[in-house]
Amino acid sequence: MGRLGRQWFYLVIGVAAVLPLLAMVLARLSSGVPIERMTRDVAALAGVHPLTGFLSSLGILLWWASAAVYLHTAAVVRRVGTVAADPGAGFLTWSGLLSAYLALDDLFQIHEHLAPEYLGVPERGVYAVLGLATAAYLWRYRRLLRVGEGRLLWLALAGLAASVAVDALLERWLWRLGDWLYLLEDGTKWLGICCWAAFCAATCAGRLRALVRAVGGG
């Protein structure tokens, strides 16, 4: 990394570190949200057991892991090869960005609370936009999904779609299941996330192996 590149690196790191602090200050001044609500651990604030919501937390970790692996692999592919020579670079980038959004959505309940309350976008509206974006993503990279471990992605989408269907469409008819309803809704989502992460790992490993073979001449 050259001197200029190192300076930009430190600048990006500094901005990324300071932005959340500035966001908290703005939230405190504009909405009166107590600082401790934004800095302390959720379980400590709510006074609940640390394992509360552990499956959701594990899902968020897998989303973030997938985002990091996708974006890092995309950066390596772009650095070593070229976008024209490797059409998978764009796929890796958009897959990483989609993973990052889904992590943020789960972490901050964007579709359930933030979008309806602060942006005026109903939950079903967020689902519709996300569905259209996902459909465009699948159509754009449909050829790349027909090879390798593409079936894992389709299993992931099936699990996530089943969870959304239970939450948005079927919950009014399945309430008699009691607590088992949450197992159905969140369990299918968890299985979908696991398949998504597995597809990410297999895809990125395959791209890197192909890149090593190309650079090493075999």
Query: 144-164: per-residue pLDDT in tens?
Result: 887 778 889 999 999 998 888
pLDDT at 84: 43
Checking if the pLDDT of 104 tops 80, the result is yes
Residues of the domain holding 32:
1-39
Let me know if residue 47 belongs to a domain: no
Mean pLDDT score, 189-218: 87
Higher pLDDT, residue 84 or 41: 41
Could you tell me which residue, 165 or 3, shows the higher pLDDT?
A: 165
57 and 14 assigned to the same domain: no
Range with top average pLDDT, 147-151, 178-182, 203-207: 203-207
With respect to residue 131, please indicate whether it lies within any of the assigned structural domains.
Answer: yes
Q: How confident is the model at residue 207 (pLDDT cuts 50, 70, 90)?
A: confident
* pLDDT mean over 203-213: 87
Are 31 and 66 part of one and the same domain?
A: no
Give residue-wise pLDDT tens across range 105-119. Answer: 999 888 888 888 878
Q: What is the pTM of this model?
A: 0.84
pLDDT of 100 strictly over 80: yes
Task: For residues 11 and 87, state if they share a domain.
Answer: no
Long-range contact set of residues 203-210: C-beta below 8 Å, sequence gap at least 24: 203/92, 203/95, 203/148, 203/149, 204/69, 204/70, 204/73, 204/92, 206/148, 206/149, 207/73, 207/77, 207/86, 207/88, 207/92, 208/73, 208/76
Q: How many domains does the chain have?
A: 2
| Number of residues in the chain | 218
Average pLDDT value over all residues in the chain: 86
Using the 8-state DSSP alphabet, how is residue 32 labeled?
-
Q: Same structural domain for residues 35 and 91?
A: no
Task: Name which residue leads in pLDDT, 217 or 171.
Answer: 171
pLDDT at 73: 94
User: Do 114 and 28 share a structural domain?
Assistant: no
Could you tell me if 85 and 180 lie in one domain? yes
pLDDT higher than 80, residue 218: no
